[in-house]
Structure 1
Amino acid sequence: MKTWKKWAVLGIVTTISTGILAGCASSGNASEEHQKTVTLWAGGSDNVKVGMEKIVEAFNKSEAGKEHQLKLEFIMSGAGAQTVSDRIVAAKKAGETKTNYDLILTSDAEYGAYIQEGGSDLFTPYNAEKIPNLANVQTEISTGKGTLVPYRGTTVVLAYNSENVPNPPQTADELYTWIKDNPGRFSYNTPGSGGAGGSFVQTAIYNFLPEEAMNSSDEKWKSEWEQGFDLLADLHDSMYQTGGKVIYPNKNQGTLDLLINGEVDMIPTWADMMITNLSNGMLPETVKMTQIDPGFTGNVDGLVMPSIGSNQEGAQAVMNFMLSEEAQQILLDSMAAIPVIDSTNITSEKSKYLAELNVENFRTSSLGSLGNELNEIWDQKIGTLSK
């Protein structure tokens, strides 16, 4: 299998992905007897949950697990609960310390938004000596160097029913033409509920902007969003409908379910979600994936330590484990995660699907808080068109 070094360009990474993490449990102060517990906060779709549960089990059985026990707090995307970022920022501003926010799963795309809201000291830099497996990492992140430890990569692709679409679109313009020529047969989820829909929206808007804008949180770019939103509004009437009304599904899984059930022929989806559903038989082999040019966005997903956490030693032990061959194998098998280390000794049936991805079409996106603003404007301009 190819290594992530070969896969990564521009320092990628969905969600991933996945969108801003959401939390529902209160942070609370960690008691003395639980100082050896490492609490990992994560969010996203079910495939991420499954992968993290397997990581927790493996870590707790490992040598490092004799000293630190890993606990998972997972919130499904689109759950509607207060986000982890909101909770962490609020706790930090309230002066809380020694909370159970030991480790956060996030992406380089989301990192900027965290820092904008919580300040440059929201996260604690890691000690590289505590994470020797960093020497094996063969990818780069677009932001958060010295603080964010990458653990997997993915990107958003175009999934389609090859029986009904023998010649899928190859460019963004061809895709938009196809959508209008085939009303009701395309869908994307609300951008605030999942990264696949978010990537579709960002791509439609930022294709009209300079490439540098996709990795900038500068407010000046907002004045150039109008043309992209006009495009999304023009496509609205051609989207999936039910009961005579355009519906934008909730969460990444929502559009994938429409494709599985044959209600649409084409959707944007995370590569790892599609590969997982192909390999477990939920998607028929007639469903294929392709990349358009310019490509949809992706991310590098990673781990960061909030400065208000309780167990930095344990958090760094988890970071180190996540970069082991054992953990990278688990992530590939359970999540179709593209390895971030030399994958010579990492093999999987899912590797054949990864080989179809063309790294030349991978794009990174890191908008900081602009990403949330863009989603809110979509809710106002596009989401309301169906009402």
Structure 2
Amino acid sequence: MKKFTLLTSGILALGLAACSQNAEKGSQDNSGNLLASDWQEVSDAAAGQEVNMYMWGGNDNINRYLDEWVAPRMKEEHGIELTRVPMNDAQDIINQLLDEKSVGKTDGSMDIVWINGENFKAAKDNGLLWGDFSGQLPNFTDYIDADAPEIAEDFGEPVDGLEAPWGQAQFVLVHDENKSPNPPKSMEELASWVKENPGQFTYPAPPDFTGSAFIRHVLYETTGGHEQYQQPAAEINDLEARFEPMWQYLNEIEPFLWREGQTYPESLTKQDQLFASGEVGLTMSYDPALAASEVLKGRFPESTRTFLLDGGTLANTHFLSIPFNSSDKAGAMVTINELLSPAAQTAKLSPENWGDLSALDLEKLSPEQRQAMTDVDLGNATLPLEELEANRLPELSADYIEIIEKGWMEHVAKE
């Protein structure tokens, strides 16, 4: 009898394992079919799903936009429960997905991830993303220019439909016009300003995204422009020599920085706190409307304004993707499609919500949709969209960024 019981249990276990494998295979087959399904089938499959959106959680405005504007609409209009899961850094998302892939986890907790740049390349190279889904989204096909360079590539890496554009970003510098009515608009002018105003300038230490972007502006201006870096870093034999003027510049201004350059803010949030308290006279952002949002919240003075460098500033697109092991891929597709709707993009543009530039092609909008976006009050601290668009510089590919961030540690931080 005892042997019979053990045998029965073994057969039951094998049966359950086989059922589990079949269910898993069926789930994988179903998710693959979504890429060939019509949109109504995707929408029907999404109803009732719970979608977890993993993203950087360090901005109150962005968090509130997702929690108070997007999530209720997803619930009411699509029956989808959207949960925002805050992460300290996009690299944490990549590390978790790598861990899950290494152990063969097929029922992951991430359904949507907010990534771009070097994190997208790492995810793509390691097979961490689901598939070519963006062309399935009605709002992508209706309102996005898929052939535009800033949409088709992410920091030089072909997107291949693995992610959908969520918004546009452009680097701006921030000042108080009452204190600095004529802010420096080139790296040469900035070096003079820093020396004339010791302790009033600093920048976030890499790998902070904004601090790293500031250093790339130094690279462009001190080494002869961005055109020479539009090829893979590995193809430039004298790259270290080309970078030398950048390191010289950063070391030249370092003794005149906040705390004499002995330490750097660990994040843009810390940098903004220094600006808000008057400890430094300039801050910076890859979000052109951040200053307007901070003025609305009473953190920055009413006299806060943003400005660009005379040679232009870096601009890029940030994207949403679906991990390879998302448990609710249909819900993820419907959610991303909704985030690309003209209504959601217009709400996102307002500094009261987020202030993020739209990813949509304005020429593809109806006159009413375009007017609604034009009517958004961006605040006095935000530059006109036309001025931003006319002064965009292309981003470097991800391979350069890793080299620059490691080089900063060696040539600036340690010296």
Please report the TM-score for the alignment, with normalisation by the length of structure 2: 0.74
1:311 is aligned to 2:336: no
SS at match of 1:349: coil
Report the structure number with the largest CA radius of gyration. Answer: 2
Match of 1:255 in 2: 271
Residue 292 of structure 1, CA deviation? 0.3
Structure 2 gap segments, 5+ residues each: 1-23, 28-46, 363-369
1:348 aligned to 2:376? yes
Report deviation, 1:229.
1.7
Secondary structure at the aligned position of 2:113 is classed as strand
Closer, same or farther: CA 259–152 of 1 in aligned 2, 3 Å: same
Bigger relative contact order, structure 1 or 2 (CA pairs below 8 A, ≥6 apart): 1
> 1: distance between equivalents of 2:334 and 2:77?
10
Task: Name whichever of 361-370 and 305-314 sits farther off.
Answer: 361-370
Matched, 1:336 2:355: yes
Structure 2 residue 247 is matched with structure 1 residue 232 = no
* 1:134–1:275 Cα change, 3 Å: farther
Which shifted more, 211-220 or 337-346? 211-220
Residue 359 (structure 1) aligned to one of 385, 389, 394: 389
Residue from 50, 64, 68 that aligns with 1:37: 50
Flag the 1:127–1:250 CA change in 2: closer, same or farther, 3 A.
Answer: closer
Per-residue CA deviations over 1:77-133 (Å, capped at 9, x if unaligned) read 5xxx971112212322433222122211123564234334x14x6342105234345
CA contact (8 A) 1:35 1:311 kept: no
1:71 aligns to 2:99 (yes or no): no
The residue type paired with residue 124 of structure 1 is: G
Aligned equivalents of 1:227 and 1:327: distance in 2?
A: 44
- In 1: Cα distance, 2:298 partner to 2:231 partner: 39
Q: Is the 8 A contact 2:355 2:378 kept in 1?
A: yes
Q: 1:322 to 1:214 in 2, by over 3 A?
A: farther
Identity percentage of aligned residues: 20
2:163 is matched with: 148
Deviation at 1:213, TM superposition (A): 5.5
Q: Give the superposition deviation at 1:177.
A: 2.4
> How much does 1:197 deviate?
1.0
Give 1:289's aligned residue. Answer: 306
Distance (whole Å) between structure 2 residues aligned to residue 370 and residue 49 of structure 1: 31
Partner SS for 1:358: helix
Partner Cα distance (1:246, 1:127) in 2: 46
Question: Measured at CA, do residues 216 and 268 of structure 1 come closer, stay the same or move farther in structure 2, by a change above 3 Å?
Answer: farther
**CA RMSD, 1 decimal:** 2.8
Secondary structure of the residue aligned to 1:335 is coil
* Matched AA of 2:207: G
Q: Sort the Cα spacing of 1:367 and 1:316 in 2 relative to 1 into closer, same or farther, 3 A.
A: same
How many positions carry a matched residue from both structures?
A: 344
Offset of residue 246 of structure 1: 3.3
> Post-superposition shift, 1:321?
0.4
Quote the Cα distance in structure 2 between the aligned partners of 1:102 and 1:114: 14
Which residue is 1:24 aligned to?
none
> Is 2:139–2:340's contact at 8 Å kept on the other side of the alignment?
no
Q: 2:116 aligns with which of 99, 107, 117?
A: 107
Which amino acid letter does the alignment assign opposite residue 329 of structure 1?
T
Unaligned runs of 5+ in 1: 1-28
Query: Does residue 383 of structure 2 align to residue 383 of structure 1?
Result: no
Deviations 1:181-225 (A, max 9, x none): 3221111111213x2211111221243165245555533455232
Counterpart residue type for residue 152 of structure 1: G
How far apart in 2 are the matches of 1:148 and 1:127? 6
Q: Deviations over 1:18-74 (max 9, x none)?
A: xxxxxxxxxxx9xx9x9822111101531333333235423433422x1x3211111
Return the alpha-carbon distance in structure 1 between the equivalents of residues 57 and 235 of structure 2: 30
- Partner-residue secondary structure (3-state), 2:357: coil
What is the identity, as a one-letter code, of the residue corresponding to 1:58?
P
Aligned residue identity for 1:178: W
Distance 2:312 2:297 in 1: 26
**Judging changes above 3 Å, is the alpha-carbon distance between structure 1 residues 38 and 115 closer, same or farther for their aligned structure 2 residues?**
same
| Contact 1:158 1:267 (8 Å CA) reproduced | yes
How far apart are residue 239 of structure 1 and its match?
Answer: 0.9
TM-score by length of 1: 0.79
